[in-house]
Amino acid sequence: MPDGKAPHFPQQPVARQNDDGSLELECFLEASPQPDIKWFYDTTQLSQGGRFNFRLDNKGNDTYSAVLQIKDLADSDAGAYRCAIVNPFGKGNANFNLKLTGFSSPTFVEKPQISSRDEGRVMIMEFKAKSILKPTFVWQKGDDIVAQSDRIKVVLKEVGNNEYYAALEILDPKKEKDAGQFVCTAKNESGKLTATFSVKFEVPQGAPTFTRKPQILQKTSSSGDPAIFFDIGFQAEDNPEVTWLNPKNKKIKESNRIKFNLSPDGGNNTYTAQLELKNYKAKDSGTYTCNIKNAAGDANVELTLNIEGPADDGGDDGSEA
């Protein structure tokens, strides 16, 4: 009988993850002549192709490396694998107990990016993710959940084999409302993926900026009546124009109850803008907006007034006719 060598394993098999996310199980073996190799998952023989790729590398001196590569790895691929080798002189088996956690977590297909459309009127935060298990997508700004509204659209589409497109679209983005960090968390039973977006607004040179926190003050007016003062501090060049909007988002005009005041603060192009509201009632409650505009740009700030008492529908709400 010709000389030969029964298959055996001189060292322990190893498992390693590749940069492309695939996993390789490798057995080191000695045999002569070259053995036949079969791979099994539990009791099922694996077939070459698809997610599974086999190879046998001849290392010389009757030594070999048998490799099973698994692509698109999922937590469900965990379990018992066996490398079975046989030649005319004998046979051998190498066993793997593969433990996997987090391999079915969502992964990026396209990294997060910020873009715009409609000449900048719509800001889009978007990314694509792959998730073998069904994921959920949650958008947050700080600790607050970002929900769909007239101004904000939450987009989620399944665009391919276990691939998802997620986007947040903001109509007419404003520095006061939308600057800051947005985070979208894609999560499934295996793990999670975090997409982070930092939204910054570049202020043009000379455009209005606020110099202090806006405030609502209770005072007595010059006529002796009780009054509320909305007080804004800002800096702006080139004769800024100040406009006030009532809670119905209508431009306010001066009246016997309402007066405007704009005065320099004494600093470098700094001002105080005030809206004086006399004889205020519960019906005056709501969110008021101060818009400051010049040739370089504009800025908005909101102040919310809460007054206890019965809602009275009568009277002057300050809207322009």
**pLDDT tens readout for residues 26-76:** 999 999 999 999 999 999 999 999 999 999 999 999 999 999 999 988 888
pTM value > 0.75: no
Q: What is the CATH number of domain 107-199?
A: 2.60.40.10
156-170 per-position pLDDT tens digit: 999 988 999 999 999
3-class secondary-structure state, position 228: strand
Q: Is the pLDDT of residue 317 over 60?
A: no
Reading the block at residue 157, the tokens are 């589409």
Q: Is the pLDDT of residue 201 over 70?
A: yes
What pLDDT, on a 0 to 100 scale, did the predictor assign at position 158? 95
Distances from the Cα of 222 to the Cα of 227, 289, 294, angstroms: 10, 24, 30
Reading the block at residue 14, the tokens are 């190893």
Closest CA to 108 of 51, 181, 165, 157: 165
293-314 per-position pLDDT tens digit: 998 888 889 999 998 876 555 5
| CB-facing half-sphere around the CA of 61: CA atoms within 13 A | 1
Q: How far is CA 234 from the centre of its chain?
A: 32
Question: Residue 32: left if φ>0, alpha if ψ -120 to 50, beta else—which one?
Answer: beta
Structure-model confidence comparison of residues 7 and 319, the more confident one: 7
2: pLDDT confidence band, cut at 50, 70 and 90?
Answer: low
3-class secondary-structure state, position 26: strand
Structure-model confidence comparison of residues 126 and 318, the more confident one: 126
Mean of pLDDT values over 180-199: 94
Place of tokens 């009568």: 314
DSSP calls for 135-190: PEEEEEETTEEP---SSEEEEEEEEETTEEEEEEEEES--HHHH-EEEEEEEE-SS
- Given a contact cutoff of 8 angstroms between Cβ atoms, the answer to whether 270 and 234 are in contact is yes
Domain boundaries, the chain: 5-98, 107-199, 209-305
Q: Is the pLDDT of residue 186 over 70?
A: yes
CATH of 209-305, one of 1.10.10.10, 2.60.40.10, 3.30.1330.60, 3.50.50.60: 2.60.40.10
318: pLDDT confidence band, cut at 50, 70 and 90?
Answer: low
Angstrom distance (rounded) from CA 214 to CA 231: 6
Q: Is the pLDDT of residue 321 over 50?
A: no
Angstrom distance (rounded) from CA 231 to CA 24: 67
For domain 5-98, give the fold: Immunoglobulin-like (2.60.40)
DSSP calls for 19-44: TTS-EEEEEEEEEESPPEEEEEETTE
Q: Is the pLDDT of residue 316 over 60?
A: no
Going by C-beta distance under 8 Å and a sequence separation of 6 or more, which residues neighbour residue 2? none
Angstrom distance (rounded) from CA 3 to CA 15: 33
Mean pLDDT value across the chain: 90
Whether 5-98 shares its CATH topology with 107-199 is answered: yes
Angstrom distance (rounded) from CA 229 to CA 218: 6
Q: What percent of the chain has pLDDT over 70?
A: 95
Question: Residue 217: left if φ>0, alpha if ψ -120 to 50, beta else—which one?
Answer: beta
Going by C-beta distance under 8 Å and a sequence separation of 6 or more, which residues neighbour residue 160? none
Closest CA to 228 of 270, 286, 293: 286
CB atoms within 10 A of CB 140: 13
- Given a contact cutoff of 8 angstroms between Cβ atoms, the answer to whether 66 and 37 are in contact is yes
Angstrom distance (rounded) from CA 273 to CA 263: 7
